[in-house]
Chain A
Amino acid sequence: MSAVFQTAITKAMRQIRAWARINSPWAIHFNTGSCNGCDIEILATLTPRYDVERLGVKLQGSPRHADVLICTGPVTRQARERLIRTYEQMPEPKFVIAIGSCATAGGVFRGCYNVIGQIDEVIPVDVYVLGCPPRPEAITYGMVKLLNKIKEAKTEAADTL
């Protein structure tokens, strides 16, 4: 009986966790050397016209309160350490969204002497949103993709999350 009971409890807890995660992904934004274009589009996504807060996304000040790291821009040599530190300060499970062409591939700054490259050369990335800069709709779509990813993970390897 206890084994069955244990399994049921674990399953229920897993479902509650995933439900909570999907409904309130708190985000933190870090600019690793972006031109600002993506940053203003992220802010536009949070403001009334696009209002991503209806999906439960809230911009947080501290990495310790955040679930999702939203990164913009190519990684510059100075910002690299800070990006890693910010990422490591976030509690598990954590997800990373790379916004814009520079964050996904280095973009127009590829080859500049102070640029290391895209975000995934430094930290793992879950969702890539392309565009220079991506439209707020695209950023919202990227967010929904991430939420779906969390939802799917619920049925597969939820214990690792």
Chain B
Amino acid sequence: MSEKSEKFIVPIGPQHPALKEPGHFEFTVDGEVVTGASVRLGYAHRGIEKATESRNWTQNMYLLERICGICSHIHALAYCLGVEKLAGVSAPPRAQAIRSVVAELERIHSHLMWLGVAAHEAGFETLFMYSWRDRETLMDVLEALTGNRVNYSANLIGGVKFDINADQRDTILRALEFLEERTAHYMDIVTTDVVFLRRTRGIGTTSAAQAELLGLVGPTARASGVARDVRIDAPYAAYADFPVTLILHNVGDLESRFIVRINELLESYRLIRQILDHMPEGELTARVPRRIKEGETISRVEAPRGELFYFIKSNGSDTPERIKVRTPTMCNMASVPVLGIGQQLADIPMILAGIDPCFSCNDRAAVIHQGDDGDTWTWERLRQYGIDYYRGQP
């Protein structure tokens, strides 16, 4: 690994106390300073993309929702938008507005959750407990709307499953009022608490150029001053009618990631209020045929962690021919080994938490090399592997 024998490799994971999800990291350290880092992922790879090919369009909605339990709605939304585009229908305006409301509620729950987890990595347990307590208010709202706390399955292909009535509207507004007050308090804490700032200010700084080079997305990129938000660049659902204000910060360290995400919370509160005040009237679903027309399409949405990308190909039957998912963590993960070098080992969990990693989203495909296989699989070889694999099946 290295010519100097006094260097030491710290293996972490896949079962580790820092994160809830499995991932394996190896850090080469020189004393306390990290000099090399490698990441091994794929512990949560389940083979969902292949599994979509054996389920029909409706069943896939429930499967794809379970790519990630945190951003489940946005996965289903990206899929539904893509399939609707292929089928040539579009959901009614009221359904689109409800989709946006749920997407923003999900962003709030995800960012509050991240705030707690990131504070936990910094050893700030009080903030962890407080933000998770406040998050429960939002979970109640999501449950009141959709009937489930996680994996809400609000979408249908061609619309949504439920309406928002006046009572529910009041519940949401009341929850937002409480959360807004708390969020302002959190903003105060993460920008003024001296102990906490020692863990975040100037740590893991990513310049805008570096962020572009690494291809960062979502709040991680916006904290480095890269103006990149799918809700603004290519509005979907109701975002064309209810525009989002871009949240930017230029420093690029962990502190600015906190600031960007907390400002995004405030922006989401504003947006939900605006949508609820100007909710379009009308139907909730459009008719969609059981078989989707032949063709292929892409669908992009802004998940809480960044741009989520779906490629969907239909062959005209009731099952998709191919679905490819590219998740935001996949783009952001590459920054961890790069930014980690030269930092203290104790800061690594914070740098990792700073991108808001989601391994279940991330683990899309895994190829494990044994021996001198070479690094790249040719298409032919991959195809042959697939044929051999499925021929071997009973």
State which residues 39-91 of A face B: CB under 8 Å. Answer: 39-44, 47-49, 60-63, 73-74, 76, 78-79, 82, 86
Is B8 at the interface (CB under 8 A from chain A)? no
- The residue of chain B having its C-beta at the shortest distance from the C-beta of A30 within the complex is B15
- The residue of chain A having its C-beta at the shortest distance from the C-beta of B71 within the complex is A36
Contact bitstring A21-50, B, C-beta under 8 A = 1, else 0:
000000011111111111111111001110
Provide the residues of chain B in CB contact with A28, threshold 8 Å.
15
A33, A38, A40, A44: the one within 8 Å of B45 (CB): A33
Instruction: Please tell me if the beta carbons of A132 and B14 are within 8 angstroms of each other in the complex.
Output: no
- The residue of chain A having its C-beta at the shortest distance from the C-beta of B136 within the complex is A49
A61, A78, A114: the one within 8 Å of B16 (CB): A61
Provide the residues of chain A in CB contact with B63, threshold 8 Å.
108
- The dominant DSSP class at the B interface is loop
Q: A82-B22, A133-B150 are in contact. Are A44 and B139 (CB under 8 A)?
A: yes
Provide the residues of chain A in CB contact with B164, threshold 8 Å.
none
Contact bitstring A93-120, B, C-beta under 8 A = 1, else 0:
0000000000000011101111100000
Instruction: Please tell me if the beta carbons of A76 and B69 are within 8 angstroms of each other in the complex.
Output: no
Shortest CB distance B342–A (Å): 26
Provide the residues of chain A in CB contact with B237, threshold 8 Å.
none
Is A135 at the interface (CB under 8 A from chain B)? yes
Instruction: Please tell me if the beta carbons of B47 and A133 are within 8 angstroms of each other in the complex.
Output: no
Instruction: Please tell me if the beta carbons of B45 and A34 are within 8 angstroms of each other in the complex.
Output: no
Measured between alpha carbons, how far is A73 from B360 in the docked complex, in Å? 10
B51, B70, B72: the one within 8 Å of A109 (CB): B51
Provide the residues of chain B in CB contact with A35, threshold 8 Å.
66-69, 72, 151, 360
Instruction: Please tell me if the beta carbons of A36 and B129 are within 8 angstroms of each other in the complex.
Output: no
Measured between alpha carbons, how far is A44 from B136 in the docked complex, in Å? 8
Measured between alpha carbons, how far is A135 from B360 in the docked complex, in Å? 20
Measured between alpha carbons, how far is A51 from B15 in the docked complex, in Å? 23
Instruction: Please tell me if the beta carbons of A132 and B151 are within 8 angstroms of each other in the complex.
Output: yes
Instruction: Please tell me if the beta carbons of B46 and A40 are within 8 angstroms of each other in the complex.
Output: no
Question: Which of A78, A82, A109, A113 is most buried by chain B, counting CB atoms within 10 A of its CB?
Answer: A78
Shortest CB distance B211–A (Å): 25
A40, A62, A79, A115: the one within 8 Å of B43 (CB): A79
Provide the residues of chain B in CB contact with A38, threshold 8 Å.
69
Provide the residues of chain B in CB contact with A114, threshold 8 Å.
45-47, 366
B: interface residue count bin: 35 or more
Shortest CB distance A79–B (Å): 5
Instruction: Please tell me if the beta carbons of B43 and A109 are within 8 angstroms of each other in the complex.
Output: no
Measured between alpha carbons, how far is A112 from B54 in the docked complex, in Å? 10
Is B162 at the interface (CB under 8 A from chain A)? no
Is B42 at the interface (CB under 8 A from chain A)? yes
Instruction: Please tell me if the beta carbons of B69 and A33 are within 8 angstroms of each other in the complex.
Output: no
Instruction: Please tell me if the beta carbons of A36 and B132 are within 8 angstroms of each other in the complex.
Output: no
Measured between alpha carbons, how far is A39 from B358 in the docked complex, in Å? 12
Provide the residues of chain A in CB contact with B45, threshold 8 Å.
33, 76, 78, 114
Instruction: Please tell me if the beta carbons of A37 and B20 are within 8 angstroms of each other in the complex.
Output: no
Measured between alpha carbons, how far is A79 from B366 in the docked complex, in Å? 13
B43, B48, B113: the one within 8 Å of A78 (CB): B43
Provide the residues of chain B in CB contact with A115, threshold 8 Å.
46-47
Supplied contacts A36-B68, A74-B46, A108-B62, 12 more A-B pairs, CB within 8 Å: A31-B21, A33-B46, A39-B69, A47-B128, A47-B133, A76-B43, A76-B46, A79-B14, A86-B15, A114-B47, A115-B47, A133-B149
Q: Can you identify 11 A-B contacts, CB atoms within 8 angstroms?
A: A34-B360, A36-B20, A36-B68, A36-B358, A49-B133, A73-B44, A82-B43, A86-B15, A108-B62, A112-B48, A114-B45
9 closest A-B pairs by beta carbon, nearest first, are: A37-B69, A61-B17, A47-B132, A36-B69, A112-B47, A39-B20, A114-B47, A37-B150, A48-B133
